[in-house]
Structure 1
């Protein structure tokens, strides 16, 4: 990421205004959320990469929660079908704080196999935006047909040095096939493990995407639409359609 004061992503590197908490969401989910809930918090469901758990990405999930999102991470290391991610929506709809969540604003995101699961979950009409991170689409529960069944805008993230879910075989076909607005950003020099921990240099862009898509933030929207202030960042290669 460009490391100067004019970097439009810089504000989203910082934690948001909310103090966060983490707790169990039944047997199937781990919840990261603002400690003191107000009203109309958007929801993000998360799918781990193969062999991963929510704690593998815990700092990043906490970062999203600090910006006011309720984040429900599926407790599975095989999220490729997207089913466990969607189950977390069902859990939260019956939770004691369901009234604090805006279920009309639901994002889906995940890494690697969980990125493939994100695209699978993106077929569900409840999903209003997606952000598959280095999605693996060559099996592990992912069905190619899901790429033709999207209805929500997508932030598609790649790493130029990713040798496990490389852009040519895994993200380029998605960008070509989906018939929804897509912002495809490839981080130069990023390996497959860039998002482990705090999401690395994907942290700010994903946070801005959620603020744009789920919170209607006009400053965040300007990174992706129109003149597109995130399109010229030196460490990113960007393609987009429908935005």
Structure 2
């Protein structure tokens, strides 16, 4: 990272530890034509939603353990069944998919997050123009094409957790995340993981698992302890092995 950095690996990662653990819900996967849903097996009402976009050439299966992890914390995750999520439209279409499900009354459509990796990260920013989106978490977004329109970065409607890897050579931070951080005018928390490659989130989200889970609990569930990671005490501002920048908080 370049610019004003709030921390450069001077504390420890303990604040994220609780969010690395599995949540209290057992989970179920539903295979659909347009979307794959990962959700708590027993829905208890008012579950927040996250729509997901895959990286180029991948499917939800590539991120299955991470998506199940979010579901274990009570989120209903709808992953677009596409390898080309860069426009964000397939991700937004998953909202309609959930509205058609028999358990739609158990979901909170006023609390919808959008997230995705690489091309899907660029799609997340595209989806972030939609007023239905409550918060975003683009993971190593690729913004140099593949359906991404850079004007979307000026049209965000929701707070953003922007994630990078310092060893990422496919969607490097300087060309792909720094411009996003500079252009968006919503609250943005930019966290770059030291030595993470472009493939860090494949599987169980790797070192991005805890911080994204905490972000959703803060933004979609109003969890005050999770909020303290990003605002107020900002305990995530001094995480060991991370460089943090934030604005508009």
TM-score by length of 1: 0.97
Q: Which residue of 2 aligns with 1:38?
A: 44
Any gaps of 5 or more consecutive residues in structure 2?
A: 1-8
Q: Which residue of 2 aligns with 1:107?
A: 113
Aligned equivalent of 1:11, options 4, 18, 24: 18
RMSD: 1.2
Question: 1:162 Cα deviation (Å)?
Answer: 0.2
Q: Secondary structure at the match of 1:231?
A: helix
Q: Which residue of 2 aligns with 1:23?
A: 30
Q: Which residue of 2 aligns with 1:73?
A: 79
Q: Deviations over 1:125-169 (max 9, x none)?
A: 100000000000000000000000001000000000000000000
Aligned equivalent of 2:149, options 143, 155, 166: 143
CA distance in 1, matches of 2:235, 2:60: 31
Q: Which residue of 2 aligns with 1:123?
A: 129
Query: Greater CA deviation, 69-78 or 90-99?
Result: 90-99
Aligned equivalent of 1:98, options 101, 104, 108: 104
Relative contact order, CA 8 A, sep 6+: which one is greater? 2
Aligned equivalent of 1:132, options 134, 138, 148: 138
CA distance in 1, matches of 2:171, 2:13: 31
Q: Deviations over 1:169-193 (max 9, x none)?
A: 0000000000100000000000000
Displacement over 2 Å in runs of 4+ = none
Question: 1:109 Cα deviation (Å)?
Answer: 0.1
Q: Which residue of 1 aligns with 2:68?
A: 62
Any gaps of 5 or more consecutive residues in structure 1?
A: none
Q: Deviations over 1:85-110 (max 9, x none)?
A: 00000111121110010000000000
CA distance in 2, matches of 1:226, 1:62: 29
Q: Secondary structure at the match of 1:237?
A: strand
Q: Which residue of 1 aligns with 2:235?
A: 229
State whether residues 27 and 41 of structure 2, in contact with CA within 8 Å, keep that contact through their aligned partners in structure 1.
yes
Question: 1:6 Cα deviation (Å)?
Answer: 7.0
TM-score by length of 2: 0.95
State whether residues 112 and 133 of structure 2, in contact with CA within 8 Å, keep that contact through their aligned partners in structure 1.
yes
CA distance in 2, matches of 1:227, 1:160: 25
CA distance in 1, matches of 2:17, 2:248: 25
Question: 1:232 Cα deviation (Å)?
Answer: 0.5
Q: Secondary structure at the match of 2:198?
A: coil
